[in-house]
Copies of this chain bind each other. A is one copy, B any other.
Amino acid sequence: MFRGANLLNIDAKGRMAMPTKHREVLLVQSSGDIVITAHPHGCLLIYPQMAWEPIQSKIMAFSSFDKKSSALQRLLVGYAEDIALDTAGRLLLSQVLREFASIDKQAMLVGQGSHFELWDREAWNQQMQNATQQDASSMPIELEGFSL
């Protein structure tokens, strides 16, 4: 599925060209219909529309009285927008979403299997700097014994 990182330019209208290798998959899987939403870590999430639906269902099944889960519902479902690729394979990022993720001129599109993450260029570099400075002792339990 989706993997790999691409540095992309965003034009004055807020349009961003999807790398061609991913376009076909998106067109086949959900006829170019995309859902974009906000991620709690400060980036955007990009799903093929069909893959998003079951996730949204799960999220909305959480209790809406619990503060944590309703906050998550507001973020993930509240920000979610339906967008389609234009004829040139670009997608239009709304003002609101761009502001949420502080995305301006350049963004890093990062494949994560079933979906993508979209990061402001600077925020991504920051993120990666942290990740490469971690040492194994601070790794979570589930990574115990994991090796490449």
A7 contacts B71, C-beta separation under 8 Å: no
Q: Which A residues fall within an 8 A CB radius of B?
A: 3-7, 38-42, 45, 55-56, 58, 60, 62-82, 95-96, 100, 110-113, 115, 117, 127-128, 130-132, 134, 138-140, 142-143, 146, 148
A69 contacts B4, C-beta separation under 8 Å: no
Which of these, B7, B55, B71, B131, contacts A74 with CB under 8 Å?
A: B131
Known: A127-B71, A142-B63. A40 touches B132 (CB 8 A): yes
Complex CA–CA separation, A130 to B57 (angstroms) = 23
Which of these, B77, B113, B127, contacts A111 with CB under 8 Å?
A: B77
Which of these, B3, B65, B73, B143, contacts A112 with CB under 8 Å?
A: B73
Stoichiometry, as copies per complex, reads 2
Q: Given A64-B112, A68-B138, A77-B113, list of 9 further CB < 8 A pairs? A: A3-B77, A3-B81, A7-B96, A39-B148, A45-B148, A55-B148, A68-B143, A72-B131, A77-B111
Known: A4-B79, A63-B142, A75-B128. A68 touches B111 (CB 8 A): no
Complex CA–CA separation, A56 to B128 (angstroms) = 18
Chain B residues with Cβ below 8 Å from A117 are 74, 78
Chain B residues with Cβ below 8 Å from A5 are 78-79, 96
Which of these, B80, B112, B131, B143, contacts A4 with CB under 8 Å?
A: B80
B148 contacts A111, C-beta separation under 8 Å: no
